[in-house]
Each structure stands twice: as structure tokens, then as C-alpha cells.
Structure 1
Amino acid sequence: MSFLSAWTVCFTDITSTAGPGYTDLYFVAMEYPSSEALDQTEEDADEPDVDYIPPEEATLRITDRAAEQLRSMAAREHNQDAALRVAVESGGCHGYQYKLELAESRRTDDYRFVHPTIKPSNVVVDAISMSLLKGSTIDFATELIGSSFRVSDNPQAKGSGCGCGVSWELKI
């Protein structure tokens, strides 16, 4: 199976009412793994079954600030495929925490989101984490103590999370 045949491209035009700092669209192009790619990945990695999130449910907003920072990082790395990898892992006092790191490229089982007007601004999410992140917002915050990417407005998270701001609890 070739890499391109394992992906389907979905073009959407969803109006946002999120407010200032957000783009007028949630996303223009999103690539998501086909069920064949997920099946192949599961066989290779001997991982448990992964629930496939259909494209109409796999949404992720990218703020203009986050997209600008991603474009700047891709330029510094001289890599148009560079992406922010967002994952959910177990840990912290509330059970889950976000893991954000720079990735050189996407994997075959990743969902890839791109800001509609600021490119490259790649955000990739693995198939397992997508169900825990769908509907969230990726932002870039600058504060006196430092700057960082942040996940906010996660509809799967219960309340505002832990007092330390690192972990969060899943809505049941």
C-alpha cells in the first residue's frame, strides 16, 4: 500500500464563531488515515484496536497565533513537513495530560490539520489521541514566564483540570 493511497483529503468550509484570535474557518484541509492505514498500523505495531474517528467528527481549531508560530518553526527547520505533534497520555493527578512536541513529519496513522490561510502550519494527532482531542483548540500563549503551545476548550475534558494546569479528567 502506498503512502498516498492510505490517505483521504477532506476539504471543508465550516464557519467559526470562536472570536478574536481564531481563524474564520476551523480548517480547510485535513488529512486523515483510511481504515486500511489504521488496520496496517495495528498489525505492524501489535497495538490494541483503534477507534476510527470519521472526518466530520475529527475537528481541531488552530488559532492564528499558533499557526504563525508553526510557520516560523517550519522556516527555521527548513522543513515544510514539520508539525506540532499533540498527543494525550495517561498521567498527572487527574488521569490524562497533553504531550506536545515538534515532529519532522507525520506518521501513516496521524490526522493532520492545517490552518486555512497561514501555511505551513501542520498539527498532527495520532489515531488513539484523536478521540480525546476532537473539538479542541491549539493556541500559542506568550507570558512573562515563557511561551508555549497549549490545548484549550477540550470538550472531552471535565472542568478546568488540575490546579497545576498539567493534567485533566475525562468527561464520562
Structure 2
Amino acid sequence: MLGTKYFAISKRILTLKSFKPLTLGGTTIITLRYNSTKPSTTTTNSNANSSRLKPSSFAFPSSPTSQQSSSTTTSTNDSITSSQQQEDINDFRATKLIHGKTNLSFAITERASKKLNEISQQDNQDSGLLIQVESGGCHGFQYNLKLTNIDKELQQQQDGDANDLVVFERDQGRKVIMNESSLMILQDSKLDYTKELIGIQFKIVDSPYTSSACGCGSSFDFDFDKLSQKEG
């Protein structure tokens, strides 16, 4: 058995050359023929790299982490909702009725107020926004917005050529005027200045009595039963 040694654990790497069983006295002995070589640099580097790839490096988030993430998302959503509610309160508090008599509320957002002020500086100091709700549109009703001279609108009312008008303003800015029948439908909603894909525009938002609306928001339907319940 020249050139044959029994297998033993060694610091050297075994390169398998042959495999030959040997039977002595009824006992089978497995022998290995090998060449002893020094570990190569490539093998050492591979082993070193493998040792750095720990299972924890690729572990999926555990259940507690998922719960924490969900809790964080819920907390963020609650914060946004709370912020929106506070903004709504501020909008209604800042909007004042300066002409007419009504118990109904309406709000002008800060964005809409600033834009109206910009327009008045470019146009004239008496300009304001007239809101009229009329029947029509794909959902039954539509509101028309147009710039107008507030003084002229109020003069027409005094001459008996106009319905009872109410005028709102925010922070002593430009005014919004409408008749009471329009306010009845738009009560508790807000005038906003929005930037959307369809363009930049003044828009009525957050109406609690609107049951449906078209994509552009200019045509809508409202819930008569819900409105009647509030009046009752």
C-alpha cells in the first residue's frame, strides 16, 4: 500500500485522487490517496467572505417590527387627520359674515383668500367672487363662480333686483358673495383654491351634504334627507 495513508484531519487541504476499499481480516478499510497542498488565496478569501454573510443580514422583518411599522403608519394618519380638523376649525373661525343675516356657516381657505387678494390688486379693490348654485350639469346641480363688483351687487339688492345676499370675508381680505338659496346648499362647505391635473381653479370643497359629484367637481348632487335632518 505504497503511497496510501489513512484519512486524518489536517490543516492541509486534501485533493481526492482515488478511492479504493481494502479488506483485512474481515474488516474493510477505506483509504484515500491525496496530494497535500497549501490553501490557496482564493479559497481563503471565499471562506472569509462567507463568514460575513450572516443569516441576520437577510432576515425578513419580524412580527413585532411589522406591528411597530403599522402603529407608526396609524399614528401618522391620525396626526394628518387631526391637523386637517384643526385647519377646518381655523377656516371657519377666520371667515366672518359681514353683510346679511343668516345662521348658516361658510368658510374661505387661506389659499383662496390670498388668491382673491392677488386678483383684486391686479383688477380693482371692489372685486369679489360671486357664487351661484343653479340646476344643470351631469349630476343635477352646478355652481358658477365669477368675479364681480361687490358694491354693484349690493346696490342691485337695495333696488329690489336681487335676492337676499350674504357676504363673507376672511382676515379682512376680498369678499365672497352669494344669495341665501345658494348658501342653503353650500352651507358648512369651503371655498378653496386648488391645483389639480385639470388646472388651477377656485372650487367648493368638503361639503357634508354632497352625495355625488363629477370628476371636475363643478356639477354635483346633494343629500336632501341629510339637509332636512339638520334643519329639523
Q: TM-score, normalised by structure 1?
A: 0.66
CA contact (8 A) 1:158 1:170 kept: yes
Once the two structures are superposed, the pairs formed by residues 41-56 of structure 1 within 5 Å of their partners are 55-56=102-103
Q: Which runs of 4+ in 1 moved over 2 A?
A: 16-20, 22-25, 31-34, 106-109, 142-146, 162-166
Q: Distance in 2 between matches of 1:96 and 1:151?
A: 13
Once the two structures are superposed, the pairs formed by residues 124-143 of structure 1 within 5 Å of their partners are 124-143=177-196
Once the two structures are superposed, the pairs formed by residues 11-160 of structure 1 within 5 Å of their partners are 18-20=85-87, 24-26=90-92, 27-33=94-100, 55-56=102-103, 58-79=104-125, 81-105=126-150, 106-107=153-154, 108=157, 109-115=164-170, 117=171, 119-143=172-196, 145-159=198-212
In the TM superposition, residue 98 of structure 1 has moved relative to its aligned partner by 1.0
In the TM superposition, residue 126 of structure 1 has moved relative to its aligned partner by 1.2
Letter in 1 for 2:203: R
Query: Percent identity over the alignment?
Result: 30
Q: Specify whether residues 87 and 64 from structure 1 end up closer, same or farther in structure 2 by C-alpha distance, changes over 3 A only.
A: same
Letter in 1 for 2:165: D
Q: TM-score, normalised by structure 2?
A: 0.50
Q: Distance in 2 between matches of 1:28 and 1:97?
A: 23
Higher relative contact order (CA 8 A, sep 6+): 1
CA contact (8 A) 2:168 2:177 kept: yes
In the TM superposition, residue 68 of structure 1 has moved relative to its aligned partner by 0.1
In the TM superposition, residue 156 of structure 1 has moved relative to its aligned partner by 2.4
Q: Specify whether residues 32 and 155 from structure 1 end up closer, same or farther in structure 2 by C-alpha distance, changes over 3 A only.
A: farther
In the TM superposition, residue 154 of structure 1 has moved relative to its aligned partner by 1.3
User: Gaps (5+ residues) in structure 2?
Assistant: 1-82, 158-163, 225-232
User: Gaps (5+ residues) in structure 1?
Assistant: 1-15, 35-54
CA contact (8 A) 1:62 1:139 kept: yes
Q: Distance in 2 between matches of 1:113 and 1:122?
A: 6
Q: Distance in 2 between matches of 1:18 and 1:83?
A: 27
| Residue 222 (structure 2) aligns with | 170
In the TM superposition, residue 30 of structure 1 has moved relative to its aligned partner by 0.7
Q: Distance in 1 between matches of 2:132 and 2:199?
A: 21
Q: Distance in 2 between matches of 1:138 and 1:70?
A: 11
Aligned-residue RMSD, C-alpha: 2.4
Alignment size in residue pairs:
131
In the TM superposition, residue 164 of structure 1 has moved relative to its aligned partner by 4.9
In the TM superposition, residue 28 of structure 1 has moved relative to its aligned partner by 4.8
